[in-house]
Amino acid sequence: MKKSSKSYLLLRLWQYLSKYKIILIAGSLCMFLSNILSLSGPRLSGKAIDAIGTKKGGVDFEKVFYYAGLMAAFYLLSAVFDYFLSLLTIKLTRNVIYQMRKDVFESLAKLPVSFFDKYQTGNIISVVSYDIDTVNLSLAGDFLQILQSAITVLFSFIMMLTIAPSMVLIFVVTIPATVFLTRFVTSRSRPLFRIRSRKLGELNGYVEEMLNGQKTTKAYGREQEVIAVFEKKNADSVDSNTRAEYYGTLSAPSVNFMNNVSMALISVVGSLLFLYGKIGLGDVSSFIQYSRKFSGPINEMANIIGELQSAFAAAERVFRLIDELPEKPDTESAEILREVYGDVALKNVNFSYQEGQPVLHDFDLEAPAGKQIAIVGPTGAGKTTVINLLMRFYDIDSGTILLDDKDIYGIKRDSLRGAYSMVLQDTWLFHGTIFENLTYGNENITMEKVIEAAKAAEIHSYIMSLPKGYDTLLSDNGVHISKGQRQLLTIARAMLSESKMLILDEATSNVDTRTELLIQKAMRNLMEDKTCFVIAHRLSTIQNADMILVVKDGTVVEKGTHEQLLGQKGFYYALHSAQFERRRA
C-alpha cells in the first residue's frame, strides 16, 4: 500500500484512535443518542402540525402541546449528550496529540546523526508542532463528526422513505452530482495542501537558520538580502496556502448549491402531492426538515473532506518522520562494556558520507590507553570525521575500529558512547541551573567534585560572582553569558565524567591563551588515566601531546611528537611555520 494513499494514512490514523476504545465507544454512544433524539424532532413537529386540524378542521391542543413538549424534552436531552460528546472529543484529541508527539520525538531520539546533518531544524520543528496540530485538530473531531453525519443521513433517509417514498427519487439526481463535485475538488486540493506543508516547513527552517545567525548577518550588513529571501519564501508559503484553501473551500459552496436545488425540487413536488391529497401538510413539513438534515451533513462532510486534505498532507510528513530508519540496531551478540582501559585503534578504515566521494581512505590510528593523541590538518582533511566514527555517529565503509582489542561493532552502541566524554567547539547548555548543566549525565556527583572541576576549568570564580552561584538558572543555551564561559562550563562538565576516554574538538577555541594554558595543565592532571583525542587548529595547544597525527586528504601523512615532526620539516612543519609567521605578523 502506497504510504501517501488515503487508505494507508487512514489506517495509520485509526491506529492512534483505536488506542482509546473506551472514549470512542462512549463518544459514539453519546453521539448516537444525541442524534436520534434530535432527529425525532421533525417527525414530532409534523404530528403537531397535523394536530392543528389541517386534515379534520379542528385543533387538538392536547396533542399539540404533547408533541411540542416531547420535542422540547428530546432537544434538551440531545444538547446534554452533545455536551458530553464535546468533552470526550477534547479528551480524545488531547490523548492523540500527546501520543503522536511522543512517537515523533522518540523517533527523533533514535535517528542517526546523518539525518540531522541533512534536514533543517526548523523544518523538523514544523512537523512536530504545526503538522501534528493540523492532523489532530481534524482527526478526533472529524472522525466523530463523520460518524454523526452518517447516522443523521441514514436515519433521515429512512424517515423520508416512511413519509413519502416518491419524493426520495429527487436525491437520485442530486446526490451523484454532489459526489462528483466533491471528488473533483478533492483531487485538486490535496496536492496543494501537501505543497503548503512543505513550503511552511521551508519557511520555518529559514527563519530558524537566520535567527541563529543574526550576528553574522548584521556583521556583514546583509539584513536587506535576508529580508528579501524571507519575503520570497513568505510569499511562496502564503501563495501555496491561498491556493490550497481556495480549492479546499470550493467543495462547501458547490455542495450547498446542490442542496438548495434539492430543497427547491422537494418543495415543488411536496406542494403538488399535498394539493392532490397524497400527503399531509405535516408530512410535507417533516419531509422538508428531514431533507435538510439529510443534505446538511453531506455539506458538512464536504467541509470535513476539505479539512482532511490538509490533515492528510500533514500526516504524510508526520509519518514520514516517524518511519525514518533509526540507527542500525546492535547485533544480538553485541557486548556491554564492563571495564574500559582506553586502547583505541583504527586499521585501514575507509569512509565516505556520499558514495563515490571518499573522506577517509586506508586510515590508521593507534591510541594507547591514557595517552593524548592530537589530530591536526587543514580544513576538510577528515579530522572531525574520525571522531564521528569513533563514536559510531557514522558507520565505516570498510576496515576495523578496535577498543581494547574489541571491534566496536561488537559493542553495544550506548555502552560505547558512554565510554567517551566530549567537548565540542559548538557548546550546548540546556534550560536549568549551572549545577544541573555541570552534572548532566552524572547526576549523583557531589558539590565538592563539581567545584573542584569548575576550579580546574577556571570557571569557579565567575560562577561565584553570580547572584545565585551554582543555582543560577541558564536559559536559551546560556545566551546571557559569553561563548568562552559557556565553553568553560562544558569543559568542567566533561571533567566530571567517569569515562576513560575524552574527545576535545576545538574545545578551547573560545578562550584566551592564558586560560587555555591553565585548562590544559588542569586537564592533564585530572585526566591522567584517560585516552584523549584532541582536534585543534592552533598547534600551540597540542605541543605536549603524546602523539600528533597529521591528516591530509583523508589519510595520515605524518605522525610523531611535536619535536619529531618539526625535525622532519614536512607538512606539519609547514603548518606550524605558517601559524608562527601569522602570529609574528
Which of left, alpha, beta for 59 (phi over 0: left; psi -120 to 50: alpha)?
A: beta
Q: What is the 3-state secondary structure (H, E, C) of 436-453?
A: HHHCCCCCCCCHHHHHHH
> What pLDDT is recorded for position 55?
47
Question: pLDDT, tens digit, for every residue of 168-214?
Answer: 777 767 777 776 777 777 667 767 777 887 787 788 777 777 766 66
Task: Of 54-63, 213-222, 533-542, give the range with the top mean pLDDT.
Answer: 533-542
Contacts of 441 (CB under 8 A, 6+ apart): 497
> In this structure, are residues 46 and 279 in contact, taking their beta carbons and an 8 Å threshold?
no
Confidence of residue 509 (pLDDT cuts 50, 70, 90): low
- Least Cα distance to 106 among 341, 253, 324 occurs for 324
Confidence of residue 519 (pLDDT cuts 50, 70, 90): low
Question: pLDDT, tens digit, for every residue of 291-306?
Answer: 777 766 766 666 676 6
Question: Which strands sit side by side in the sheet containing 531-535, from one edge to the other?
Answer: 420-424, 501-505, 531-535, 372-376, 547-552, 555-560
Whether this model's pTM surpasses 0.95: no
Q: Which residue has the cell 473533483?
A: 184
Q: Which residue has the cell 550506548?
A: 414
Helix (H) or strand (E) holding 113, with range, is: helix 113-118
Confidence of residue 161 (pLDDT cuts 50, 70, 90): confident
Averaged pLDDT, 277-298: 72
Q: Which residue has the cell 453531506?
A: 298
Share the mean pLDDT of the chain.
Answer: 79
What distance in Å separates the CA atoms of residue 9 and residue 569, rounded to the nearest whole number?
65
Beta strands in 301-343 (DSSP E): none
What distance in Å separates the CA atoms of residue 348 and residue 572, rounded to the nearest whole number?
22
